[in-house]
Structure 1
């Protein structure tokens, strides 16, 4: 059992750092549990617990810094939850290979956009409050549905869409992303806890490592958001693309 802790905890720390900076930490954290041979449902459930703990810290940190647009967040959270529920239902009807094939095209294009964009990821587009609210709600619903259907890279996609289409600052987009991620994590974690799928001791210890990674990542983001986000996003998208290729090859 100790070996599992030694394998999982350092990777969960890295996942927390990635998640705080640019989202997508689940691409590291979930495989960290799975490579130890823990049953899949327990992996997913326990990962939700450690992710919830770390994301809570980053959300609180960004809230103190004024990064979270609460008026928009209050609307986006139920939209994301509704989208997630719809995505779960769709996953039972539509083969995930269809989505994976689409993502094989979208991810390289997204990577090219991030690499070629000069400066940071923010746009010069100025949206009215109503337009920003409407676009953010739609993005939350759309990505929430993706999260319920498949999931990996949700944070990255949220940040990119909120900066690109809602015209948000990078700090605001990341703050709103954390609120949305935290709400969906809570909803999923409650279901897993009720069904006894969470490995509580492992989740608690791994959660402490995730908190540390999130805290350090959030601090780096606060100080160097314009310089650190792009390389982390490229790394996350690259990992995601490799993961998809591997899944499609073995599928």
Structure 2
């Protein structure tokens, strides 16, 4: 009972952060691994995805009700992410992601520095692409991040937010809304893989899902209330924590 309560609180906090800028895995994954430290990692990752997909979907629906979603970007990016996340999940069973583990802190550091230096980045919603060009960029980003999410995963939501701001000209709030939709596709693909292979603790996953949804609703409300400036600040905080966490994982623990 205590274990489920602990993970419920962690799932709520993860859902809140993830709804705004992504990065909920920073909270949820360490929590579930520490509580069930003798359970197979694949089963814990599958259970984590089960909880996350409901929270991310709830955030996506909430954003869609209040923010004008760029579906011409979100739809092709999501379809590409769905396919490539599944491919990435399959690939990781064949090739260990050691290279990405060591490279990730440097990529995140570059993202943080760029966002910090560009004070006006993501403050104005001014889409840069339309038509075929928009769809092509959406498919490219959906494929790249989808594969990354299935293959490795840390910081997927934050990467999506940054890319939609940097390459599409979205403000942080609109970018976060589109990122949630793409992230749902990634999570569904990964969940399909884990579910098919039997790596799920259904009762725990559903319990955490309820808490994750509650957290995501609170996070979405905060983002909508405080706007792009709030999302940008939280984005920098989450990316900074990701840099520390991934540096430890890549260069110290290993």
Map 1:53-92 → 2, pairs under 5 A: 53-92=54-93
Q: Match for residue 212 of structure 2?
A: 210
Secondary structure of 1:135 counterpart = helix
Residues matched between the structures, number: 250
Greater CA drift, 228-237 or 114-123: 114-123
Pick which of 202-211 and 215-224 moved more. Answer: 202-211
**1:238 is matched with which residue: 237, 240, 245?**
240
Q: From the superposition, tell whether residues 5 and 92 of structure 1 become closer, same or farther in structure 2 (CA, over 3 Å).
A: closer
Q: Does residue 250 of structure 1 match 2:253?
A: yes
CA contact (8 A) 1:120 1:227 kept: no
CA RMSD of aligned residues (A): 2.1
Query: What residue number does 1:20 align with?
Result: 19
Residue 193 of structure 1 aligns with which residue? 195
Report the Cα distance in structure 2 between the residues aligned to 1:148 and 1:219, rounded to whole angstroms.
28
Q: CA deviation at 1:21?
A: 0.5
Aligned-partner Cα distance in 2 for 1:90–1:202: 27
What residue is the counterpart of 1:116 in the other structure?
117
Q: 1:191 to 1:82 in 2, by over 3 A?
A: closer
Shift of 1:19: 0.6
Q: What's 1:163 paired with?
A: 165
SS, match of residue 236 in structure 1? helix
Distance 1:90 1:204 in 2: 27
Deviation at 1:237, TM superposition (A): 1.6
Between 1:43-52 and 1:122-131, the stretch displaced more is 122-131
For the Cα contact (< 8 Å) 2:129–2:168, is it kept in 1? no
Separation in 1 of the partners of 2:223 and 2:18?
11
Q: Give the TM-score taking structure 1 as reference length.
A: 0.90
SS in structure 1 at match of 2:198: coil
Deviating more after overlay: 239-248 vs 89-98: 89-98
In 1, distance between residues paired with 2:42 and 2:129? Answer: 43
- Residues 202-244 of structure 1, C-alpha deviations (whole Å, 9 max, x = no match): 2222111111110010001111122321232222222222222
